[in-house]
Amino acid sequence: MKFELTHARHDALHCLAPGLFRSLKRGDRKRGKLDVVYDYGESTRIEFSGPEPLGADDLRILQGLVAMAGLSGSVLSPEPKSAPGQQLRQSLEPRWEALGHDAMVVRGSYRALNREVGYGNIDDTKQIRECIERLWKVSIIVQSDGKRQGFRLLADYASDETVGKLFVALNPLIARTVIGGQHVRIDMNEVRALQTDPARLIHQRLCGWIDPGRARQVGLDKICSYAWPDDATNANTIKTRQQTARRALSELEALGWGVEEYAGRKFKISRPPPR
C-alpha cells in the first residue's frame, strides 16, 4: 500500500509535556481528567486541561492531523476575509497574544486519516471522531516571558460521515512548526509500524528528545514514565511496567533504532537518520 504521509513536523511542547498522553486502562477516562502543567526551558510554561485524559489513540490521531497539515494544510490568518474563515478563527477561541498568530487548517477524509495512521479498518470512523472530539475539548494556556496566551488544541471541526469528509484547524503552536519553525520530526512509517500503545507513547517522547541520527542515554524508570507518568509503589506494577517498556524498546529496535543496555536498566538509545 502506498502512503502519502512520510513524516509530521510536530511541536515540541505537545511531544514532551509529561502526562499529556498516557497509557490508559478501561474506565480511566470516566474517572480522570486532563490537568498537565509543563515547564519548558527557563521561561515557558504550558498548561493543558480537559474533561478526559488523552491516550495513545488520541496521540496517534493528532500525529496524523499534523502530518496531513504539512502535506496539504492551509494557513488560517489572524484576520480571515471569508465568513467561514472568520467563524473557524473564532471557534479556536484565541486569547491575548494568540490573537495575532496563524492557525493551520486541515482538509481531508476519515478514510485517509485512518489509512495514514495505520488503522486496520479504514471505514470505521467512530474511533477517529471520538479522538478528535476529545482533542477539541482540550484548552491550552501558554505563559512565556511574562506573557500569557490561550486557545483550544483544535478548533470546531466540520465532518460529514455520510461521505467521510473532515475539516479541522490546528492551534497556533502546531501551525508555526508546520509552516517552517523549529519542530520535532516524527516518521509516519514508524508510527504505522508500531503495534502497542506504550511503544507509541515512548516513541513520540523519544522523538521529541533525540534528534534524527543522534543518541542519548536514559534509565528504564524514565522510559516507563513516558507511558505511565504517575509513580507506582506496588512492586508488581513496577515490574510489569518495566517489562512492557522493554518490549516497547524492542519494537523500536525492529524499526532501526539502536537500543543498548550498557548497565542495569540504563540504555543508550540511537535514533536512525531521516529516511
Look up the CATH number of the domain holding residue 202. 1.10.10
Within this chain, do residues 127 and 221 fall inside the same structural domain, yes or no? no
Within this chain, do residues 226 and 94 fall inside the same structural domain, yes or no? no
Q: What is the chain's mean pLDDT, rounded?
A: 85
Within this chain, do residues 181 and 84 fall inside the same structural domain, yes or no? yes
Q: What are the helix and strand counts (H, E) for the chain?
A: 11, 14
Report helix angle 126-136 to 56-72, nearest 10: 90
pLDDT of residue 75: 53
Within this chain, do residues 41 and 141 fall inside the same structural domain, yes or no? yes
Within this chain, do residues 120 and 240 fall inside the same structural domain, yes or no? no
pLDDT of residue 111: 83
What is the mean predicted confidence (pLDDT) over 250-260? 98
pLDDT of residue 156: 57
Instruction: Report the Cα 266 to chain-centroid distance in Å.
Output: 26
pLDDT exceeds 60 at position 254: yes
pLDDT exceeds 90 at position 71: no
pLDDT exceeds 50 at position 6: yes
User: 198-228 pLDDT, tens per residue?
Assistant: 999 999 999 999 999 999 999 999 999 999 9
C-alpha separations of 192 from 5, 103, 130, 187 in Å: 10, 26, 20, 9
Residue 174 corresponds to which cell in the numbers above? Answer: 502546531
pLDDT of residue 225: 97
Q: Could you give the strand order of the β-sheet that contains 165-170, starting from the edge strand earlier in sequence?
A: 74-76, 103-109, 165-170, 158-160
CB 67 within 8 A of CB 188: yes
Domain boundary among 144, 161, 188: 188
Within this chain, do residues 131 and 87 fall inside the same structural domain, yes or no? yes
Please indicate, yes or no, if residue 2 is contained in any of the structural domains: no
Within this chain, do residues 148 and 34 fall inside the same structural domain, yes or no? yes
pLDDT of residue 122: 67
Within this chain, do residues 95 and 221 fall inside the same structural domain, yes or no? no
Total-model pTM = 0.87
Range of the domain at 183: 7-188
Within this chain, do residues 177 and 55 fall inside the same structural domain, yes or no? yes
Within this chain, do residues 258 and 139 fall inside the same structural domain, yes or no? no
Across 116-125, 127-136, 158-167, 204-213, which has the greatest mean pLDDT? 204-213
What is the mean predicted confidence (pLDDT) over 35-57? 93
* SS3 label, residue 110: helix
- Left (φ > 0), alpha (ψ -120 to 50) or beta: where does 269 sit? beta
Q: How many domains does the chain have?
A: 2
What is the mean predicted confidence (pLDDT) over 35-42? 91
Please indicate, yes or no, if residue 49 is contained in any of the structural domains: yes
pLDDT exceeds 70 at position 69: yes
Please indicate, yes or no, if residue 275 is contained in any of the structural domains: no
pLDDT of residue 171: 84
Within this chain, do residues 50 and 148 fall inside the same structural domain, yes or no? yes
pLDDT exceeds 70 at position 126: yes
pLDDT of residue 72: 60
| Residue, of 106 and 248, whose pLDDT is higher | 248
CB 177 within 8 A of CB 4: no
| Residue, of 147 and 37, whose pLDDT is higher | 37
* β-bridge partners, 154: 170
Please state which of the ranges 42-51, 60-69, 83-92, 103-112 shows the lowest mean pLDDT.
83-92
pLDDT of residue 162: 55
